[in-house]
Structure 1
Amino acid sequence: MKVAYITETWPPALNGAALAAARVVSHLRKRGHGVELIRPRLHMEDAGDTDTVTVPTMSVPMCADLRIGMPVGQHLIKRWRAARPDVVHVATQGPLGWSACNAARALDIPVTSDFRDRFDAPGGKVVAPLLRAYLRGFHNRTACTFVPTDEVAGQLSEQGFRNLVVSGRGVDTVAFSPYYRSESLRRHWDAIGPVVLYVGRLSEEKNLSALLDAYAAIRVAEPSARLVLVGEGPMRDVFEERCPDAIFTGHLSGSMLSACYASADMLLLPALAEGFGNVTLEAMASGLPVVAYDMGAAAMHIRNDVNGITVVPGDQYAFVRAAVALACDEPLRERLGAAACQTARAASWEHILMDFEQTLYANCASQSTASIGACPA
């Protein structure tokens, strides 16, 4: 296949969407497909390569540290007339993705898309319906939309989204493994008791009040517990004030991230708006028991009290109680962690990416998608 892959985010950005996009593109290229990557320009000197088109970026209102691609529809139409792809895959729904969808529709090229977040439209009574209508119109004018879980598929279907294909995410069990546990790192953390780990952005949308409450309760029951926070964000000041003994590692990747996971004793995942939650499988592959709300990757892969602990979404008291119980019970952590590792080993990226590839093939086979209609102007 000749695939045009459009994404608003790309490494070195440290988020699940960027890392998943890089993995998909790498898989397709290794399988012999020609992949034209279209992504935002990361810096002034970033010109990409012969298989990459970079576009100018703009900042997102109220998110100064986030930049997305500018719309370049006319440029893509000219480019794709000269070298037509078999299918266009739009991984993000921003201006760049919108313009790519429009360009593909204008040239009658099959389009597929990703919806990788939970459907919790922000903005209140005025903005939320407008955002919902935009997203529904965007995705319903693509041949199919890949979603991360059955839960998200159900939410979107109720809102009128069509042609949904569930395609989860996997985990690299070579990169994430109990093998990377480091006693020297634990000594550096001054870890005498259990190490409670959080990996993710330090921001309000991650429901970090539950994490703060859980750790405060853990310290009452187990004063030697230590909190390690991997990531950055606007709530770092709050954690520094309320958890002055916490370890702040900042953004980590590669072997340092692997060692952090494996050297901890449990992971707390308080988010209520995760489309999937890659950290769940990364922690499980590293031998950590996870406490999470029963949604996303946790709902797919955790069996309560078998290989982790899940609680009813939104029940913060239950989340705190579960976190305290796990922190105070080393045999329970060992039992759940060992089972979690076995579960993660069965969550192969290869199977997921092969299914994704086959769906692209199926859409290439269609003679025309004109009946689906044009993307919203």
Structure 2
Amino acid sequence: MRVLIVTDTFPPDINGVARTLNTLGEGLERRGHAVKIVTTVEKAEAGGLPREVMHSMPLPGYPGLRLGFASARQILEIFDEFRPDALYVATETLMGVAAIRAAGKRGIPVVSGFHTNFQTYLEDYHLPGMEALAQGILRSIHNHTARTLTPSADTAGMLEKWGIQNVGVMGRGVDTDLFNPAHRSAALRQGWGADDSTPVAVYVGRIAAEKNLELAVRAFEVFSSAQPAARMVFVGDGPRLELLKEQFPQFHYAGARTGTDLAAHYASADVFLFPSITETFGNVVLEAMSSGLGVVAFDYAAPRLLIRSGENGWLAPFGDEAAYLDQTRVAAAGWNDDALRQAARQAAFDLGWERVIAQFEQELAAVISPPTP
């Protein structure tokens, strides 16, 4: 197969969508397929998947992400040069819409991805009351593709309620060799003011309004009331980072981390606080559990799939902040429970990327050569 992946975000961007698409693209290439990326960001270094870089502008209110622009003519020129058998359109922006329209002109099948709950971000970014309009736009975009893939059953059910057709669930995987308790670093913990007897809570992800970080702060207050020596570490970058630093200078801010450096930050902590209620999956939950951390989360998406509350992490009913804080108190008491942390790692161990890449390959093959009725 020759597969063109269209996405506004791709490495060196640091986010779950970018990492997922890079992993899927490289996985297809290892399986003998030709893959090319249409995106908004230049390569940070030599190597990697070939790409076409389109004009873009920063996402309003979120300068760390960019919106791509491409005309149908530009996309058709890429088609003529690359000759794709199928497209995977990962972001529902102007560039993604242009690619879907251009594919329609050439009869090239398109699979779309629903990776991010952008419609729920509107209120956080000062555009309240527009969620219904956004749902209608997303329904129109996805129903112009042969198949829509999303990473969790919760999100698939939501899309079907909106009237989006041919929705499939394609989960996520984790590199269990990279995200491994073996990367725990006493030197890193010392830099946080923690020794072996000091509990460390961590958050990894975008430092942004939609991540519900106010609850993470409140949860750590509960955690530290039970464990007064505890430390809180935020790993990531985003539009709320400077405000968070100003309001809570007592926390440690590690900034954006990648690779083994990121793996060491996970493994050197003890409990992962994950307060978000806007995820389509939550790759960081897999990474944290693979690193041997108990996770405190709401019961949906990846946490629902992976966490057995009290056995390998702690779950609260979706959106119930009081229950989330109660589970944080339990986590504070069990922060060094070796059996729970080993069970968390085992749950992640069963979700390697090869299974996901194989499904992605099958989904693309099915729209190229649909089964005979």
State TM-score, norm by structure 1.
0.91
* Structure 1 position 281, deviation (Å): 0.5
The answer for the alignment partner of 1:133 in structure 2 is 136
Q: Say whether residues 1:221 and 2:221 are aligned partners.
A: no
The answer for the alignment partner of 1:279 in structure 2 is 284
The answer for the alignment partner of 2:93 in structure 1 is 94
Give percent identity, aligned residues only: 37
* Structure 1 position 126, deviation (Å): 4.9
The answer for the alignment partner of 1:149 in structure 2 is 152
Q: 1:58 to 1:237 in 2, by over 3 A?
A: closer
- Structure 1 residue aligned with 2:241, among 233, 236, 252? 236
* Structure 1 position 241, deviation (Å): 4.3
How do 1:37-116 residues align onto structure 2 when only pairs under 5 Å count?
37-42=37-42, 51-81=50-80, 83-116=82-115
User: What is the identity, as a one-letter code, of the residue corresponding to 2:36?
Assistant: E
User: What is the identity, as a one-letter code, of the residue corresponding to 1:258?
Assistant: A
Q: 1:83 to 1:218 in 2, by over 3 A?
A: closer
RMSD, aligned CA = 2.2
Q: C-alpha offsets along residues 330-364 of structure 1, whole Å, 9 cap, x if unaligned?
A: 45x32221100011110111011101101111111
Q: Say whether residues 1:209 and 2:206 are aligned partners.
A: no
- Structure 2 residue aligned with 1:169, among 164, 167, 172? 172
User: What is the identity, as a one-letter code, of the residue corresponding to 1:310?
Assistant: L
- Structure 1 residue aligned with 2:348, among 344, 349, 359? 344
Q: Say whether residues 1:34 and 2:34 are aligned partners.
A: yes
SS for the counterpart of 1:290 is strand
* Structure 1 position 125, deviation (Å): 6.8
* Structure 1 position 2, deviation (Å): 1.0
Contact kept? 2:234, 2:251, Cα under 8 Å: yes
Q: Any unmatched runs of 5+ in structure 1?
A: 369-377
The answer for the alignment partner of 1:22 in structure 2 is 22
* Structure 1 position 306, deviation (Å): 1.4
Q: C-alpha offsets along residues 252-288 of structure 1, whole Å, 9 cap, x if unaligned?
A: 1111111111111110000010111111000100100
User: What is the identity, as a one-letter code, of the residue corresponding to 1:358?
Assistant: Q
Contact kept? 1:119, 1:156, Cα under 8 Å: no
Contact kept? 1:90, 1:97, Cα under 8 Å: yes
Q: 1:82 to 1:234 in 2, by over 3 A?
A: closer
Contact kept? 2:151, 2:170, Cα under 8 Å: yes
Contact kept? 1:180, 1:259, Cα under 8 Å: yes
The answer for the alignment partner of 2:4 in structure 1 is 4
Contact kept? 2:119, 2:134, Cα under 8 Å: no
Q: 1:49 to 1:158 in 2, by over 3 A?
A: closer
Q: Say whether residues 1:335 and 2:339 are aligned partners.
A: yes
Contact kept? 1:176, 1:286, Cα under 8 Å: yes
* Cα distance in 2 for residues equivalent to 1:146 and 1:63: 25
* Structure 1 position 310, deviation (Å): 0.7
Q: C-alpha offsets along residues 102-148 of structure 1, whole Å, 9 cap, x if unaligned?
A: 10001111111100124754356752222111110110110000011
Q: 1:50 to 1:288 in 2, by over 3 A?
A: closer
Q: C-alpha offsets along residues 312-342 of structure 1, whole Å, 9 cap, x if unaligned?
A: 11111111121122113345x3222110001
Q: Say whether residues 1:362 and 2:366 are aligned partners.
A: yes
SS for the counterpart of 1:38 is strand
* Structure 1 position 297, deviation (Å): 0.7
SS for the counterpart of 2:178 is coil
Q: 1:47 to 1:6 in 2, by over 3 A?
A: farther
SS for the counterpart of 1:136 is helix
* Structure 1 position 311, deviation (Å): 0.4
Q: 1:135 to 1:226 in 2, by over 3 A?
A: same
SS for the counterpart of 2:177 is coil
SS for the counterpart of 2:130 is helix
Q: Any unmatched runs of 5+ in structure 2?
A: none
